[in-house]
Amino acid sequence: MYNSKIIGIGKYVPDNVVTNQDLSKIMDTSDEWITERTGIKERRWVVEGSDDTTATMGVKAAKQAIERSGLDKDDIDFIIFATLSPDMYFPGPGVQVQHALDIKTVGALDVRNQCSGFIYALSVADNFIKTGMYKNILVIGSELHSHGLDKTTRGRGVSVIFGDGAGAVVVSREEDNSKGILSTHLHSQGEHAEELVVKAPGMGTRWVTDIIADNDENDDSYFPHMNGQFVFKNAVVRFSEVIMEGLIKNNLQKENIDMLIPHQANLRIAQFIQKKFGLTDDKVFNNIMRYGNTTAASIPLALCEAWEEGKINEGDTVVLAAFGSGFTWGSAIIKW
């Protein structure tokens, strides 16, 4: 059986920078309030009318990843796209990428696992390659949150957190089983599904026709809702558990971690995990300060920047971990 290995990484973020000071002009908040609770100083938001969408940002990140992999686009034999913010209700953006890149008629799969979406997508790619079904898989995480946020004081607890952007990797066959993705670990706990949720539009709750018929200006069912303290408390526990699960599976210790890249949900969560695992600053990469929480894009965005800055090198043990809506969470242990 083969291993899989990341051989190309790419990213894309919109040009438009929105600072905490900018947000304080449109809602009752402040730089101090946001920074203290999240660690975020700024984020990128797509400008209304821009050509940037979840799919097109994913395409831009994918082009960079394919170029850096040394492969041709027609070497890609499967596409996996993780997002909670597709351009259309259906079809998903995977097929849009296939069309935009003019790739032959390969399969395209969309993953809806929110903050852990990229880990789930990477796990699917890893196992497709390990079984020999595919050789080169394009995995994308991309989000356009800004058009769907409540940018008033009512929504400040959520809206200040999220940003737009995309990241992508090319995952390819590796015959040396000591290299590449060593293992992935996935979990869920649906009893907490409504602690971090967008309820509408949904066929089982309120569809678009219901929203239009009610015409209720106070209806917030189609904006994100988050029980912040509850999510935080669960996140720090599940992050720790799933990282340890991966280390134990591969007979590794905390001291063997060369780079931890956590999902960029909240800088305070990342700092808690860093302290718990006794990792120095050079062994944890965070960029939430600049981009906010980009959900499925956050890990590939951070992974790309860490690699570009020379903080990930051949032979390093890299740990990816995420937790989010569902609840779902997961980790990946990689020998670079």
Catalytic residue ranges:
115, 263, 293
d(CA 120, CA 113): 7
Structure token digits, residue 204? 């089982």
CA angle, 256 as apex, 250 and 257 as ends, to 5°?
95
What residue spans of 115-193 are helical by DSSP H?
117-130, 156-159
**27, 191 in Cβ contact below 8 A?**
no
Angle among Cα 59, 87, 267 to the nearest 5 degrees reads 75
**Residue 325 to residue 190: CA distance in whole angstroms:** 9
Burial class (CB in 10 A: 0-12, 13-18, 19+), 148: middle
User: DSSP label at 133?
Assistant: S
Sequence length of the chain is 336
What does the radius of gyration of the chain's CA atoms come to, in whole angstroms? 19
- Over the range 162-190, which residues count as b (16 or more CB within 10 Å of their CB) and which as e? bbbbbbbbbbbbbeeeebbbbebbbbeee
Do residues 249 and 330 make contact, with C-beta atoms less than 8 angstroms apart? no
Query: Can you read off the two tokens belonging to residue 51?
Result: 């050509």
Strand partners, 81: 110, 140
Q: Which two tokens stand for residue 268?
A: 């305070």
196-228 as b/e, with b when 16 or more CB fall inside 10 Å?
A: bbbbbeeeeebeeeeeeeeeeeeebbebbbeee
Residue 58, amino acid: G
